[in-house]
Chain A
Amino acid sequence: MADPATAVASPRSAPRRRRMVRDLKAMPGFTAMAWITIVALYLPIMVLVAFSFNENRSVVLWTGFSLDWYAKALENDGIRNAAWVSVKVALFATVISTIVATMAALATTRTRKFTGQGLVYGIINQPLMIPEIVTAIATLSLFALVKKLTGLNGIGYLMMAHAAFCIPFAYMPIRARLETMTLTLEQAAADLYAPPFKVFTLVTLPLLGPGIVSGAMLAFVVSLDDVIITLLIAGPGETTLPIYILGAIRRGITPEINAVSTILVAVSVLLVMLLFFVQRRMQR
């Protein structure tokens, strides 16, 4: 006998999937669960953003709308310096980690399968698996040793640390892109007399482009938002924006911090949206 549900719903099989989705939505508590999730995720940010426009000095008592705190934040030298450090470190980390991640992704997808390949994935993704505080302390100890041996100081240490932990974030989208790219296109290029280097520059790299851009943007955002490693590694005059915010909170929360945080959120959201846009385009 034919499945009665199918027979009643439609003689075609196409709507089957749609019906399943509808069924899930009809389950008790679905709507409540969705709202709880949305509120838990976004209510804090909404409160933060709202009070960044507060006229009053309080972050709990709304009195009226104003942009004063933004003006104040943008005039604050501490914030401006911190923002500049953040951008410098993030740019450096993005460039280095994206190059390394691209090479790693090529090595793990465009070579013959080798023993210990799983181990290599593990090694590349180390920063995702080890607690960040452990990585931070380990990096700190190493850098202390290097500083003692070489006598070198400066922001380079912070940049290197960021570049290192950004690698897996840059690596993931690049590898994903490479895995969806069939080898056939590269073989076609080789078949049409392109030597290996030309195959790479004329076919692999242009096709990999969207993956590299996503990887770079992800690395940038991750570097921009980092606290723990930065907190331990950053020397004097190397305060990044998140560290500045952390310090300012200790002195008491003002809507100025809300304003800076809102800007940081806006930049991150903008970059993530751009990332989705790029990924949508590459799925064409």
Chain B
Amino acid sequence: MTGPEVVTQRKAAVSVRGLTKTFGEGEYAVTALDAVEVDIRENEFFTLLGPSGCGKTTLLRLIAGFELPTHGVIALEGRDISALPPHRRPINTVFQSYALFPHMTVAENIGFGLRMLGKPAAEIRQTTERMLALVQLEAMAGRRTDQLSGGQQQRVALARALAPAPKVLLLDEPLAALDLKLRKNMQLELKSLQAETGITFVFVTHDQEEALTMSDRIAVMKSGRILQIGSPRDIYDRPTHRFVADFIGDINILDGTIESLDNGIASVRLKDGTAVLAQPGTATAARPGAASIAIRPENVRLAQAGETPTVSGTVENVVYFGAATNLHIRLATGEQMVIRNPGAVEEGRYRPGATIGAVLPPELIRVLE
């Protein structure tokens, strides 16, 4: 499937089986989740990634208990929790809007969960102090939440959700409201917090870069379905679906036809008749017939002197942006291809109109579903 399993099999923290959620009734019914299956492992940083409306937030809300499934089961450490109300699930949420209680101080907010669990006052105070230190807000304990900056409110929300030491922490686009710099800092902070606490994080985002930076594993969602689950490397290097390949990073996609399959490697004929070898990610992708192949711009190489190019085309644009240079070429098939950092690019070496050959290493070409 998506490469060898490197991580040793850990127990599933959250198991989702055949989970379907529809909103509305009759002809107005909208399917937000469609028979979703996923196992979120213990202590992992798991990300649900997808465009808005893909069902990622609905899945999170179902795990939290704010919505009840139409069909299917959600299990926490093997125990079916599908019918439990939110206050009886040992799962806490960091809301996108933070949802801090405006009539309580920072410390009262953080201690709320423990108070509801009936913990003794001394323990509540101790844990609250520890949490305040964890998110570096010791000085703010007595403040009202509306006196805090966005980043500080974010930390309070995080501390509040972590204080009761939940089995699973759900984070619903918690960084969306922060400015870029703060966001980058919080990404690293969240990641180290997760490692420190050992709590399973389920993180929802539509930002692919954020997902790649922070996650142990990513589930890419579209229209209520999970298309691919894998490590950031799996998702980036070995996308299985056209949507996944397109959604994450830049990629060149060429249309063709699978002619034969040999030892799991497909021979694909492009529109101009060129045959290339490529790796199908799934059984569906390996079916003979029309197919799309994909290769990252940084994996395309220019043909050396005397080397036979896989494809050739005409330079259309040279786009320089400091750390990298992109060469846009128009292939004989009529399709466009981008080559990133085509060897040492001296200024003015490739001019629009020049004909060049490119080499596509077969092991880096994927056949998409």
The residues of A with any CB-CB pair to B shorter than 8 Å are 182, 184-185, 187-196, 198-199, 203, 206-207, 284
Give A180 Cβ to nearest chain B Cβ, in Å: 12
Give B84 Cβ to nearest chain A Cβ, in Å: 11
Given A187-B99, A188-B101, 12 other A-B contacts at CB below 8 A?
Answer: A185-B99, A188-B99, A188-B100, A190-B85, A190-B86, A191-B65, A192-B112, A192-B161, A193-B116, A194-B87, A198-B116, A207-B102
Q: Which 7 A-B pairs have the closest CB atoms?
A: A192-B113, A193-B116, A188-B99, A190-B86, A184-B99, A194-B116, A191-B93
Give B204 Cβ to nearest chain A Cβ, in Å: 15
List of A residues within 8 angstroms of B95 by Cβ: 184, 187-188
Q: Once the chains are docked, how many angstroms separate the CA of A191 from the CA of B87?
A: 5
* Number of residue pairs spanning A and B whose beta carbons lie under 8 angstroms apart: 62
Residues in B85-144 with C-beta less than 8 Å from chain A: 85-88, 91-93, 95, 97, 99-103, 112-113, 116-117
Could you tell me if A192 and B160 are in contact, using CB atoms closer than 8 angstroms?
A: yes
List of A residues within 8 angstroms of B93 by Cβ: 187-188, 191
Q: Once the chains are docked, how many angstroms separate the CA of A192 from the CA of B64?
A: 11
Cβ 8 A contact of A191, one of B64, B117, B146 = B64
Contacts A198-B116, A284-B146 given; does A191 touch B92 at CB 8 Å: yes
Could you tell me if A185 and B101 are in contact, using CB atoms closer than 8 angstroms?
A: yes
Residues in B29-86 with C-beta less than 8 Å from chain A: 64-66, 85-86
Could you tell me if B113 and A193 are in contact, using CB atoms closer than 8 angstroms?
A: yes
Could you tell me if A192 and B85 are in contact, using CB atoms closer than 8 angstroms?
A: no
**Could you list 18 A-B pairs, sorted by A, with CB under 8 Å?**
A184-B95, A185-B102, A188-B99, A188-B100, A188-B101, A189-B112, A190-B85, A191-B66, A191-B86, A191-B87, A191-B91, A192-B160, A194-B112, A195-B87, A203-B101, A206-B103, A207-B102, A284-B146
Give B87 Cβ to nearest chain A Cβ, in Å: 5
List of B residues within 8 angstroms of A190 by Cβ: 65-66, 85-87
A contacts with B: majority SS? helix
List of B residues within 8 angstroms of A203 by Cβ: 101
- Please indicate which of the listed interface residues A184, A191, A196 has the most CB atoms of chain B within 10 Å of its own CB: A191
Task: Kindly report which residue of chain B lies nearest to residue A190, judged by CB atoms.
Answer: B86
Q: Once the chains are docked, how many angstroms separate the CA of A74 from the CA of B205?
A: 69
Q: Once the chains are docked, how many angstroms separate the CA of A40 from the CA of B93?
A: 57
Task: Kindly report which residue of chain B lies nearest to residue A183, judged by CB atoms.
Answer: B66
Could you tell me if B97 and A184 are in contact, using CB atoms closer than 8 angstroms?
A: yes
Q: Once the chains are docked, how many angstroms separate the CA of A217 from the CA of B101?
A: 26
Asked whether B232 is an interface residue with its Cβ less than 8 Å from the other chain, the reply is no
Q: Once the chains are docked, how many angstroms separate the CA of A194 from the CA of B92?
A: 12
Q: Once the chains are docked, how many angstroms separate the CA of A247 from the CA of B86?
A: 61
Task: Kindly report which residue of chain A lies nearest to residue B92, judged by CB atoms.
Answer: A191
Asked whether B239 is an interface residue with its Cβ less than 8 Å from the other chain, the reply is no
Q: Once the chains are docked, how many angstroms separate the CA of A198 from the CA of B113?
A: 12
Task: Kindly report which residue of chain A lies nearest to residue B102, judged by CB atoms.
Answer: A207
Give B338 Cβ to nearest chain A Cβ, in Å: 38
Task: Kindly report which residue of chain A lies nearest to residue B93, judged by CB atoms.
Answer: A191
Asked whether B256 is an interface residue with its Cβ less than 8 Å from the other chain, the reply is no
Asked whether B230 is an interface residue with its Cβ less than 8 Å from the other chain, the reply is no
Q: Once the chains are docked, how many angstroms separate the CA of A187 from the CA of B96?
A: 13
Give A198 Cβ to nearest chain B Cβ, in Å: 6
List of A residues within 8 angstroms of B88 by Cβ: 193
Task: Kindly report which residue of chain A lies nearest to residue B96, judged by CB atoms.
Answer: A184
Could you tell me if A182 and B97 are in contact, using CB atoms closer than 8 angstroms?
A: yes
Q: Once the chains are docked, how many angstroms separate the CA of A62 from the CA of B99?
A: 62
List of B residues within 8 angstroms of A207 by Cβ: 102-103
Could you tell me if A193 and B164 are in contact, using CB atoms closer than 8 angstroms?
A: yes
List of A residues within 8 angstroms of B86 by Cβ: 187, 190-191
Q: Once the chains are docked, how many angstroms separate the CA of A275 from the CA of B313?
A: 75
Q: Once the chains are docked, how many angstroms separate the CA of A187 from the CA of B94?
A: 11
Give B244 Cβ to nearest chain A Cβ, in Å: 31
Give B97 Cβ to nearest chain A Cβ, in Å: 6
- Please indicate which of the listed interface residues B64, B65, B113, B146 has the most CB atoms of chain A within 10 Å of its own CB: B113
Contacts A184-B97, A187-B66, A284-B146 given; does A192 touch B102 at CB 8 Å: no
Q: Once the chains are docked, how many angstroms separate the CA of A203 from the CA of B101?
A: 7
Q: Once the chains are docked, how many angstroms separate the CA of A184 from the CA of B92?
A: 13
Q: Once the chains are docked, how many angstroms separate the CA of A190 from the CA of B95?
A: 13
List of A residues within 8 angstroms of B99 by Cβ: 182, 184-185, 187-188
Task: Kindly report which residue of chain A lies nearest to residue B144, judged by CB atoms.
Answer: A284
Q: Once the chains are docked, how many angstroms separate the CA of A194 from the CA of B117?
A: 8
List of A residues within 8 angstroms of B91 by Cβ: 191
